[in-house]
Structure 1
Amino acid sequence: MPRLTFLATSIAVTLSVLSTSAESTEQQIKLTTEVIEVTGTRRSLRSISESTVPVDIIGIDDMESSGQLELSQVLTTLIPSFNFPNSQLADGTDHARPAVLRGLAPDHTLVLINGKRRHAGALLNLNGTVGRGSSAVDLNTIPTAAIKRIEVLRDGAAAQYGSDAIAGVINIILKDANHGGSMSLTYGQHDTQMAGSAQLTQIYADEAGDLAFKKGSDRKRVDGETATFSANIGFRPFEHGFINLAAELRDKNATNRSGIDQREQYARDGNDNLDTREFSAQRYNHRFGKPETQDLALFYNAGLTLDGDAQLYSFGSYSAREGNSGGFFRRAKDSRNVSEVYPDGFLPQIESDVKDLSFAIGISGTHGNWDYDLSTNYGRNDFSFAVVNSINTSMGLASPTEFDNGALIYGQWLVNAQAKTDFDLGLYDSVFFTVGGEYRDENYKINAGELASYLTVLDSQGLPVAAGGAQVLAGFSPASAVNESRDNIALFAEFDTYINESVNVIFATRFEDYSDFGSTLTGKLASRYVVNEQLSLRGAISSGFRAPSLAQTSYKSVATVFENGVPNEVGLFPVNTAAAQALGAKPLEAEKSTNMTGGFIYERDQFSFTLDAYQIDINDRIVLSENLSGPAVEQILTEAGENNVQRVRYFTNAIDSRTKGVDIVATYNFDVKNLGQLRLSAAINFNDTDVTNVKANPAELSALGESYQYFARREIARFEEGTPKDKWNLVAKWHYQQFTTTLKATRYGEVVDSSSNIDNDEVLAAKWIADLDVAYRINEQWRIAMGANNLFDQYPQDTVSNIGFSNFNQIFPYSGFSAYNTDGRFVYAKASVTF
């Protein structure tokens, strides 16, 4: 049954364009004098400050004045409510890190390209990172060279754009110039000293015959060498047409911030003496850092004016990424090692081969009093896994050391049609009306890997002889292979009018019907009230939804996991399987949200100040259950036909949450006379998420006893404390003659890396990170720049000092929940030319 949610009026904020160069100033003037269409409304505006909802505009100059090389990293230094959390040793997530807006899940933010829905990535984040259980758009497949501007809508917009727009919308507008272009080359590397992680200087045996270590000062590292080439060029192949092409190539070496492995690597002899190889063993045997990657991204944007007012347009992309990341080192004496193959142990490595493509074509124009837009677009993400320098222990010497693990593939096809006009209904102003429909077809596949990647050899009693599958990441078996599809139809409408010269009101509604779980109706009401020329009040209230992704409804895998030397088969089962249902799984429902925002914008001369408060309530959030285990669980799984599985988890609508926060943005332009121009900006976000309700255990689990909880303390804490409570982005940009100097200071608030036991929680204190970029324009064409990200080489508090000593904490000195990179200072140089 469709649901109708009541809506009402309020207030919201606007944006701030951070730029100081002449080029950026011209761009700002252009944005505030042309008639444009901004994300959040389908009505053309004379100024972005007329928007009834908070929108940030990121221009070309903002991206150029950053040494950040990935789009997600660029956005996190400019948008206070946007975070790109650190993650390491997280399998595929290392190769496609998810980003979050307003502390919500990565799949709560909708990404558009030129106003059209972008397809999500195929990767499902399953490890213990921010965004666990989600699959989201990989923003880093989009080269900055292709981007004209980015519009970030910080408000719920499911009633306008559909599923996933609970936290907001990121709309990337591609360059459309029909002439000229640019090229740039950037080279940089990390030059850092690892705070709290000492350099090993000597290994010896103490009086008791145990290993002992002598350490020096904090370890110094120079690595992560990165070269990036980007180019953009515009053509006019026809008198009334354009083609704009962009390309980006990046070659990035791995970083390594691992600490000392103080564990014994080899078995002792019969007299309990240390193996002499202990004193020459490689003690920095893990790779704790960013993966080695090679990226290629190609984009095009094209348009052609036809007879009359019709405009034919098309855009598309192709990107490829190859990555290599390390797993957990297997010691020589590890039960998962085959010593004849790896006598000194081995570091298994995950390799990714990600192919991403998209294509869109459409036609827009005017017919009578109507403006129309009809388009179709297709997107596909293919994430293939391989494992190298590894072994299938159960196969012994017969095992290969390299494996094809299979692939995840997601495809999306859309057809969108919309038309807009205005009616004179005798009100103060005409009523601007938009109506449209959309059809979306989705497909999700898991392709099985080669036999050795998932095989577990059994003994005569049917028990594993050793760990099966490729060590570090088992391949997908034929039992895990899926090929699932669904479709949905949407109808939407939007009304926009001025009640009087001071009050603008927008109402939007959207109905969607999915083939796999049903239908939903959402709505949004937004308003802007002009108090005077300087002050405006704005706000919105809306209902929203997020449909469960195909990955969440169809992903299946079974892998062998060793704990304390004991092999366990751990399964992730879709909710429609007998194994999941026997332990309480129910069909997934859409997440339902209510989003309220209210605030004001004050502008006077060269000063702008906005404040926006928001509250987002989400019911029936989709999460991964705990790993359910124990004799009773094993018995249920056996009865469900999963004879060799000891543990199981599944997706479930387990919790409700409430997110509250405030965004504050202030900018001021100074004319410092003979010293040029100075622009100061401050953007601050305060954000707090509470899990307001955890659904009662399913009856199937309750019958097994109180110890069986399907969603427990650690995962609740990750939702509530896994992203910063506050974030400050301070920017000073000074333009003097041919020099432009940009200094950024970003404060990341406190984050908690939670544990199942609160006493083992790791609290990461707030930290300031400074970035500096100094650019010199040689002439109208050439520009050179030098700079440093994390100028003062800041790290989070090391894990040993934070939660106590252990050998394992020595190996991984920093938490993977750090809100910023744990690679230290990055220095770079950049040369660019425009033509």
Structure 2
Amino acid sequence: MLHRSALFAAVSAASLLAGAAQAAEPASQVEELVVTGSRTEGRTRLETLAPVDVISTEALTRQGNTEMATALAAVAPSMTFPRPAITDGTDSVRPATLRGLAPDQTLVLINSMRRHSSALVNVNGSIGRGSAAVDLNSIPTVAVDRIEVLRDGASAQYGSDAIAGVVNMRLREADEGGSASVTYGIYDTRVRTARDLKGRSKNDGPTFTATGWQGFKLGSDGFLTVSGEYLFRNPTSRGDLDPRITPSKVTSRFGDPQVDQITVFANAGKPLNEEWDLYGFGGYQKRKTDSAANPRLANNANNVPAIWPIGFLPLITTDITDYSAAGGVRGTLAGFEIDAGLVYGYNQVHYGVRDSVNASMGIGSPTDFDAGKMQYDQLVAQVGGTRELDFGLAKPANLALGVEYRREHYKISQGDRASWVFGGVAGKAAGAQGFPGFQPGNEVDKDRNSQSVYAELDLPVTDALGFAAAVRYENYSDFGSKTTGKISGRYDLNDALAIRGTVATGFRAPALQQQYFTATSTNFLSVNGVSTPVEVGTFPATSAVAKSLGGKALQPEESVNYSLGLVFRTGAFEATIDAYRIEIDNRIVLSENIQCNPTGTPTAQAICGLINPPGTNAQLGAARFFINGVDTETNGLDIVARYRWDLGGFGDLDVTGAANYNDTDVTAVPKTSVLDSLPVPPPLFDRANRLTFEEGTPSSKYVLTVDWARGDFGLNGKLTRYGDVLSPSNNPALDYQVGEHVLLDLEGRWNSENGFGVALGVSNALDEYPNRTPTVVNTNGPIGFPNFSPFGFNGRYVYARLSYNW
């Protein structure tokens, strides 16, 4: 249920502020024209038929963290960016969510062209488990002029994935000028965990970021803008005391990974003649990280004391390569404004393991391993055209037509033999401790293609009333075709107040990563009293193992989006209120581990017969696979209000308040006839995962930002309140709450007339932490705080930034 009292309060406050705004002198401003959500040019964000947030590069950079995803989540109330740890590759490629939905249910564009996703699929217990999403941190904030966030379903306009909305990053365009900046920050905090209430002071995670951009002329009328960023971040550690040793101490490294990253982007445009322009953009990033797995003490069953006499802490390394290139032409042909472009994107995640051991190899085991790699690439060719049609209405209608071709490719390559092999030492696990490498049987090399055609009509019936309709047909080489549609309308009741609404159908195609990801590790089970190595695997839905459990080829997720909103503006005040409902059927999830035990319950024995059929040498102990079948309903409300006030000789004041209320219910879970026929059917989607969907992201988030500027000086303050989140378990007794928390961010800045600037700031000034992880959940002490915290768990961060503009 939506928070009616909060809505009443917001509307009341809007009315009061509106009255004040009518009496105030409006601050000078330039309305932002938006291109996302409609192919009609010339609309501002307050004139759109669906809600669009426009986030400037200044808003992104006036904070301490320089990562794109963190900066975006700090200013967009409907977006969250958890910072999980000890989750393998997800530590380094963390997923962001919009309106509490899956990370891959938000479409990401750069300059209105589809961005490629990461090769990583999230398979551990974090928000976004089972998803393969775009890595927002592969785009540096310095390269971006503004970001448009469409908070509305838009599959009919942009294709697959746009269920929750669309994030369109518009790159900087400049033919002269430039800037450079250096930012340094460090966490200055006191960590109090469940076993250490007195706490310990930490000064860690020092981060150095250097950025710059430069505009160049291409001839007399073209531009080339080159942007670059270098970032180095040391790791943080927020684990609890380890009770297994005396005296207790922290043996884990639970926190942010170490990151060494360089990124370069370029954006260019050049007129060819009076009617046609050439454009292009591209980027490259190299990111090297290391994050920690759980610590292994000296007496760990999979330690080799001769190699690690006091135990060891395995480090998982990710070497990520990401690049993209796009080009195209825009011009006029046969009465249409044509845009024809081609974009290619590539992402590779190369795993390694350091300071570890393959215990099954004994004393002969190496300590460093190449664990294999995943690769994903995408090629998109698109041609679209728009033209005005005069139907004798208040304004000309706008017709948009287009076609798109997309090719995708996904590949998994095995690691070195020592990273996965069973070396023969009885009772010891095979593979590198912390992250067993991909085996030869895990290798995958798959591709697919799709074609789509769309049409969109924008119809201004009168000066006050307008409608828009869109339809899109897509055909995929693997699962078939989908058709989606969208109808939007807006009516301006007067110059100050407008009502808008949308009904849209949408879909998300199953990702190649979800269709074909496979990984295997070796565990030990007691079989007839003998410790026997068995494989625990993640398998494609169409593999023999998955089929034996009832798995079927993945089908697309389907959605219906409804929204209804108000737009109010008068003088220096503006406000938007948008309610939404998103119904999603057939969501794709990663199943639970389906356990086999030849001497266990009748169900466990029956599962052994299914995944280890007679006549084979398989010794599977458990299997999991991707499956359709989760249905959800999400209801929510977005409120954004802004008041800009010219204080005369005292400067300018800009106040923005925003809120998101979001509630998701799971209405159906997946089943298979095979498993339902067993004596006690094992769950495919258990309690913990259901509650992650329903309560794993905040039901509410408020952001209040105040920015004051006078001459060369400025102050920025931000209060963010996160609603409660549940860290769930399959055992209700082990559930615990993250808690409601308020974060305060402050920054002061000075910019001189000659281009030099200095900023000093503190993020999370009150040193706020989520609720501590209870000892009953964290029996060995590796973690200190919940992975589901929407604002992380690093504490206070102080920083300084030096800049120069020319």
| Number of residue equivalences | 771
> Counterpart amino acid of 2:787?
G
User: Does 2:347 align with 1:381?
Assistant: yes
SS at match of 2:100: coil
- For residues 566 and 736 of structure 1, do their structure 2 counterparts lie closer, same or farther at Cα, with a shift above 3 Å needed? farther
Give, in whole Å, the separation in 2 of the partners of 1:388 and 1:711.
Answer: 34
From 630, 637, 654, the equivalent of 1:655 is: 630
The answer (yes or no) to whether the contact 1:654–1:711 under 8 Å persists in 2 is no
The residue number in structure 2 matching 1:148 is 145
1:488 corresponds in structure 2 to 450
Cα distance per residue 1:755-802 (max 9 Å; x no partner): 0011211111110011111101122411100001111100011122xx
How far off its partner does 1:428 sit?
A: 4.1
Please give the residue correspondences for 1:164-563 in structure 2 after superposition, counting only pairs within 5 Å. Answer: 164-196=161-193, 217-264=198-245, 278=246, 283-458=249-424, 465-561=427-523
Q: CA deviation at 1:575?
A: 1.1
1:718 aligns with 2:692: yes
Q: Could you tell me which amino acid in structure 1 is paired with residue 538 of structure 2?
A: L
Aligned match of 1:825: 796
Instruction: Please list, as runs of the form range in 1=range in 2, the aligned pairs for 1:761-776 lying within 5 A after superposition.
Output: 761-776=735-750
Name the CA distance, whole Å, in 2 between partners of 1:340 and 1:285.
20
- Would the alpha carbon gap of residues 352 and 27 (structure 1) be closer, same or farther in structure 2, given more than 3 Å must change? farther
Cα deviations by residue, 1:815-835 (Å, 9 ceiling, x for unpaired): 111111201001000011111
- Residue matched to 2:552: 586
Q: What is the SS of the residue equivalent to 2:218?
A: coil
Q: State whether structure 2 residue 41 is matched by structure 1 residue 44.
A: yes
Deviations 1:730-756 (A, max 9, x none): 111111232111110111111001000
| Whole-angstrom CA distance in 2 between matches of 1:426 and 1:642 | 75
- CA drift of 1:568 comes to 4.5
Aligned 8 A contact 1:579 1:642 in 2: no
Alignment partner of 2:84 out of 65, 78, 87? 87
Asked whether the equivalents of residues 713 and 756 of structure 1 are also in contact (C-alpha less than 8 Å), the reply is yes
- Which one of 667, 684, 702 corresponds to residue 659 of structure 2? 684
Does residue 78 in structure 1 map to residue 72 in structure 2?
no
Partner Cα distance (1:593, 1:362) in 2? 32
* 1:812 aligns to 2:765 (yes or no): no
Offset at residue 356 of structure 1 (A)? 0.1
Which amino acid in 2 is paired with 1:320?
A: K
CA shift for structure 1 position 429: 3.3
Match of 2:720 in 1: 746
1:55 partner letter: V
Per the alignment, do residues 27 and 540 of structure 1 end up closer, same or farther by CA in structure 2, a change over 3 Å counting?
Answer: farther
Distance 1:381 1:610 in 2: 38
Task: Give 1:712 deviation, angstroms.
Answer: 1.7
User: TM (normalized to structure 2)?
Assistant: 0.93
- Cα deviation, residue 26, structure 1: 13
The aligned counterpart of 1:625 is 591
Distance 1:526 1:551 in 2: 33
Per-residue CA deviations over 1:98-128 (Å, capped at 9, x if unaligned) read: 0000000000000000000000000010000
Letter in 1 for 2:799: Y
Corresponding residue number in structure 2 for 1:118? 115
Tell me how far apart the structure 2 counterparts of residues 48 and 92 of structure 1 sit (CA, whole Å): 37
Call closer, same or farther: CA 1:164–1:333 in 2, change over 3 Å: same
One-letter amino acid matched to 2:382: N
Deviation at 1:45, TM superposition (A): 2.0
Contact between 1:262 and 1:807, CA under 8 Å: does it hold in 2? no
Tell me the distance in 2 between the aligned counterparts of 1:787 and 1:546. 41
Change (3 A) 1:566 1:159: same
Per-residue displacement from partner, 1:416-437 (whole Å, max 9, x unpaired)?
A: 0011111223444322101000
User: Is the CA contact 1:263–1:807 (under 8 Å) kept in the aligned structure 2?
Assistant: no
1:377 deviates by 0.8
Bigger shift: residues 170-179 or 673-682: 673-682
State the Cα distance separating 1:46 from its structure 2 match: 4.1
Are the aligned partners of 1:261 and 1:807 in contact in 2 as well (CA < 8 Å)?
A: no
The letter for the 2-side match of 1:226 is T
Query: Which secondary structure state, in structure 1, belongs to the residue aligned with residue 612 of structure 2?
Result: helix
* Alpha-carbon distance in structure 2 between the residues aligned to 1:539 and 1:691: 25
Q: Distance in 2 between matches of 1:374 and 1:421?
A: 15
**AA in 1 matched with 2:652:** Q
Give secondary structure in 2 for the equivalent of 1:650.
strand
Q: Secondary structure at the match of 1:76?
A: helix
TM-aligned CA deviation for residue 133 of structure 1? 0.3
C-alpha distance 771-700 of structure 1, shift in aligned 2 (>3 A): same
Point out the more displaced range, 503-512 or 673-682: 673-682
Residues 641-677 of structure 1 show CA distances to partners (whole Å, capped at 9, x for unaligned) of 5712110001111210000000001111223343222
Alpha-carbon spacing, 1:284–1:589, altered in 2? closer, same or farther (3 Å): same
Q: C-alpha separation between the residues in 2 aligned to 1:226 and 1:81? A: 27
Contact 2:675–2:681 (CA under 8 A) maintained in structure 1: no
Helix, strand or coil at the partner of 1:92: helix
- State the distance in 1 between where 2:532 and 2:427 align: 11
CA distance in 2, matches of 1:428, 1:233: 44
Q: Report the AA paired with residue 653 of structure 1.
A: N
Cα deviation 1:164-194 (Å, max 9, x = unaligned):
0000000000011100000000001000001
1:563, distance to aligned residue in structure 2 (A)? 8.1
Contact 1:37/1:43 (8 A) holds in 2: no
* Alignment deviations for residues 197-248 of structure 1 (CA, whole Å, 9 cap, x no partner): 566xxxxxxxxxxxxxxxx821110000000000000000311211100000
After superposition, residues 595-674 of structure 1 pair within 5 angstroms as: 595-629=561-595, 630-639=604-613, 641=616, 643-674=618-649
Contact 1:71 1:142 in 2 (8 A): yes
Distance change >3 Å, CA 807–CA 586, structure 1 → 2 = closer
Task: Give the distance between the partners of 1:651 and 1:570, measured in 2 at CA.
Answer: 15
Please tell me the residue identity of whatever aligns with 1:833: Y
Aligned CA-pair RMSD: 1.9
User: CA–CA distance in 2 between the matches of 1:519 and 1:98?
Assistant: 28
**Which shows bigger deviation, 628-637 or 686-695?**
628-637
SS in 2 for 1:220: strand
Residues 484-529 of structure 1: CA distance to partner in whole angstroms, max 9, x if unpaired?
0000000001001111121111000100000000000000001111
Range 741-750 or range 366-375, more displaced = 366-375
Q: Give the alignment partner of residue 137 of structure 1, picking from 111, 134, 137.
A: 134
Matching of residues 3-42 of structure 1 within 5 Å: 29-32=29-32, 36-42=33-39
Q: How has the CA–CA distance of structure 1 residues 562 and 142 changed in structure 2, closer, same or farther, with 3 Å as cutoff?
A: farther
**Displacement of 1:367:** 2.1
For 2:166, give the aligned amino acid.
V
C-alpha distance in structure 2 between counterparts of 1:547 and 1:780, whole Å: 52
| Identity percentage of aligned residues | 40
CA distance in 2, matches of 1:109, 1:561: 36
Provide the C-alpha distance between the structure 2 equivalents of 1:220 and 1:741, rounded to a whole number of angstroms. Answer: 29
Aligned to 1:732: 706
Counterpart Cα distance in 1 of 2:760 and 2:522: 48
Query: How far, CA to CA, are the matches of 2:648 and 2:41 in structure 1?
Result: 37
Change (3 A) 1:671 1:31: closer
Q: Which consecutive segments of 4 or more residues in structure 1 shift more than 6 A? A: 25-28, 563-566
In structure 1, distance between residues paired with 2:307 and 2:62: 50
- Counterparts of 1:54 and 1:566 in 2: how far apart (Å)? 58
Q: In structure 2, the residue corresponding to 1:342 is in which secondary structure?
A: coil
